[in-house]
Chains A and B, each alone.
Chain A
């Protein structure tokens, strides 16, 4: 009779969970909050500064850091000891240098195709939908799903909305959407069940640009309403030139 692996009782956070033989997840909690996300960022920064042999790359997410390593260069016990040490440092707060972006968005027709429908479903005026979305402060919790795609937190509760009944086979690059409790900026053409509120001329991902990825976990984002004329003007700029225009701090 084979024995099956028993599920260990949950240890206190941070938890160290293996993903196979080359990845280890350091979990700080199981919810979405700026405080937990700041711990992920702090550990990532500390790990990069420690420059340990055998660490290949990391994937930051809401509440955990996934560390990819080569077990031939970094024994498991030493990896956990090192990460436990780095994760228990007192300065588990936001690393300095969070970047702040203001993302221009055209909400007017023909771009914000779902604004009227969203307004009707949420019992708001169209202008309220736009001002609520453009007036809030957002945090990039993580970048994932697709190259350069930010997972944003901070959508005002009045804009929380269930998904569309029929997902679209694709939405254009640069679409700004809402769905559930989230808002997003699509860096590429993708299928989506979210509602399109507008479009940005910014390119969150441009493989030809010196810095192909605009957003990092921890960045702050505000949306700025622009006219169709400004959208057309900005869309004509090289993506290299547009990026600094959206940066608030340096």
Chain B
């Protein structure tokens, strides 16, 4: 028997993810990859993996999984997810070792959308185009390019949990500052008062949200003249304003090209904080220069590289 974690009753939107694909966007292949890099890295570090090992990503609810291996060390991060093994409550942001046939149940979190389940040793999956990240729309990566379904055995590379002590981490902080964006590339499609509306307004995160992007609801942003541009390249973080005037923030599974004007683009450091905002939450945007964004990018990457400092062994 191949050791596995058996998906008994997975949540509705569970996929295998890693850092995502690079080098194929020129051929129309989305980058995909995790929505919250810091939480993903911490999940892997908690179980002793390399930080970029493929892990399960789920939206809102993780579901129920059973250990079909001698033992398995797991960690769940991303938010304060309600976690249990039978009657025993388990802590998120901690590692836990489960024995064969024990089940872990991952319910919702009040402070997050995206959660991560990492297993010690990692999942045994074959990368496609250089990555194990699932892209649902094109059916690439992960488990046959689709969501985890009930009955799926998720093959494990390790049949037994490591002998090292368990670990726990400080949760990732998510301050409620405005989201920082670099104006453009198509701010010139909007009149000055529309630009002011965008930066002065407050926008509600809607339920129309998936790995491709999140629709916001707020004061309409009017175009100066037309809302079709000659299609050009887009990246996660681009804020498109289609004809409705309501912003669409593109996220990791977004297409490589698009035809709506992009009023601004969110900085890398704030993408996870935005993606983790629950439906109904309010967000605001604050403009920064490219130079300032680059300083923030460097300190963000340094924080990611230094996440190991948030972890300690216990007891």
Contact = CB atoms under 8 A, between A and B. Distances in A.
Interface stretch (B57-65, B86-94, B230-238, B273-281): B230-238
Contact of B230 (A2, A5, A62, A65): A62
Contacts of B301: 72
B247 to A, nearest CB: 15
A22 B297 contact: yes
Contacts of A59: 25-26, 233, 256-257
B192 A7 contact: yes
A30 B24 CA distance: 25
B112 to A, nearest CB: 23
Contacts of B137: 146
B188 A144 contact: no
Contacts of B291: 76
B290 interface: yes
B128 interface: yes
Contacts of A75: 294
A68 interface: yes
Given A19-B238, A207-B128, A57 B23 contact: yes
Contacts of A68: 25, 235
A22 B287 CA distance: 16
A99 to B, nearest CB: 14
A20 B138 contact: no
Contact of B238 (A20, A56, A207): A20
Contacts of B183: 5, 7
Interface in A12-46: 17-23, 25, 27, 30-32
B129 interface: yes
Interface in B174-193: 181-188, 190, 192
Interface residues of B, number: 55
A149 B235 contact: no
A17 B24 CA distance: 22
Interface string B278-305: 0000000011001101101110010000
Most buried by A among B199, B230, B262, B266: B230
A155 interface: no
B196 interface: yes
Given A31-B230, A146-B255, A207-B129, A20 B28 contact: no
A66 B233 contact: yes
A61 interface: yes
Given A10-B188, A18-B265, A62 B232 contact: yes
Nearest to B195: A4
B140 interface: yes
A7 B188 contact: yes
Contacts of B49: none
A179 interface: no
Contacts of B234: 19, 66
B139 interface: yes
B233 A61 contact: yes
A142 B27 CA distance: 8
B29 interface: yes
B27 A56 contact: no
B21 to A, nearest CB: 10
A92 interface: no
A143 B195 contact: no
Interface in A75-98: 75-76
Contact of A7 (B187, B231, B262): B187
A147 B140 contact: yes
Nearest to A208: B128
A56 B22 contact: yes
B267 interface: yes
Contacts of B266: 20
Given A60-B26, A72-B298, A21 B187 contact: no
Nearest to A16: B185
A188 B290 CA distance: 37
Given A56-B22, A61-B232, A144-B231, A5 B267 contact: no
B257 A142 contact: yes
B102 interface: no
Contacts of B22: 56-57
Contact of A147 (B28, B199, B232, B294): B28
A20 B267 contact: yes
**A-B CB proximity, top 4 nearest:** A66-B233, A144-B257, A59-B233, A20-B265
Interface of B: 22-29, 128-129, 137-140, 181-188, 190, 192, 195-196, 199-200, 229-235, 237-238, 255-257, 262, 265-268, 286-287, 290-291, 293-294, 296-298, 301
14 contacts: A4-B196, A7-B195, A20-B237, A20-B238, A21-B297, A22-B268, A61-B230, A72-B301, A76-B290, A144-B28, A146-B28, A147-B140, A207-B128, A212-B129
